[in-house]
Amino acid sequence: MGIALSVNLNKIALIRNSREGNYPDLIEHARACVSHGANGITVHPRPDQRHVRPGDVLQLAELLKPLPEIEFNVEGNPFAAQRGDYPGLTSLAEATLPDQCTLVPDTDHQLTSDHGFDLTQTADKLLPVIEKLKSLKIRVSLFMDPIPEQIELAKQLGADRIELYTGPYAAAWNSSDPKTLENLYQQHRQAALLASELGLGVNAGHDLNLDNLPRFSTIPGLKEVSIGHALIVDAITLGLAETVKAYKAILEATTRIQKTR
């Protein structure tokens, strides 16, 4: 299999939550993404429940259970406090048994995730979480910056994969500084090579879009990209079916080229 596309549905839930009722229907949009070629569904529940809610995670797990070829990825901060009916990320994972749990060091005060773990500070706290998730046969991915020393620590902690934080790369794509863009690309490339050498799988995500994904998808060893905001924005113009197909086409083209080398 080539590079997998996991569609993050947070923005669909955000729109739904701006009104009473269940419109747009998150589950129907997940079903549509899968039918048009997505390889997985990602959600990132937070304690403030500003978009995906615990009930959504449970429903999505039921939707995807009979579809073993479609991966369910639940992201979040394992240290975020329980609030209301938000039971905490580990409890949600235990209840739904997703294929993958991506641990992210975000806080309630962040608009979105904007940095990877500093494992020199959080390794001791993360270790029992990783061990718990792996005991449930859930693949564990850590949201990481492309820093070699940190990636080595991720391996030591027992993570299965890392998800490279691509926000700075995406921001540089639209800048007038090609040198910075190239440096960031090379940092991610070297980080991916190191991760692969260590036996870690490599995922990536944050602000990847139809413009910057073709270059980034050439990162060696890339297994999965998780894309939400840009994909949902593109769907406003292109429609959801054509948008999912467009992202898939980029990843499939990269896979074909890599196979001929």
**Residues annotated as part of the active site:** 44, 75, 206
Residues 89, 140, 118: CA angle, nearest 5 degrees: 80
Hey, what amino acid is at 257?
I
Spatial contact of 42 and 9, defined as CB atoms under 8 Å apart: yes
**Burial call 20-39: b when 16+ CB within 10 Å, e when fewer:** eeeeeebbebbbbbbebbbb
What are the two backbone dihedrals, phi and then psi, of residue 161, each rounded to the nearest 5 degrees? -140, 165
Cα separation, 50 vs 82, whole angstroms? 14
Beta bridge partners, 162, equal 142, 202
Cα separation, 240 vs 245, whole angstroms? 9
Residue that is written with structure tokens 């297994």 in the block: 223
- Residues near 189 by beta carbon (within 8 Å), at least 6 away in sequence: 219, 220
Beta bridge partners, 8, equal 42
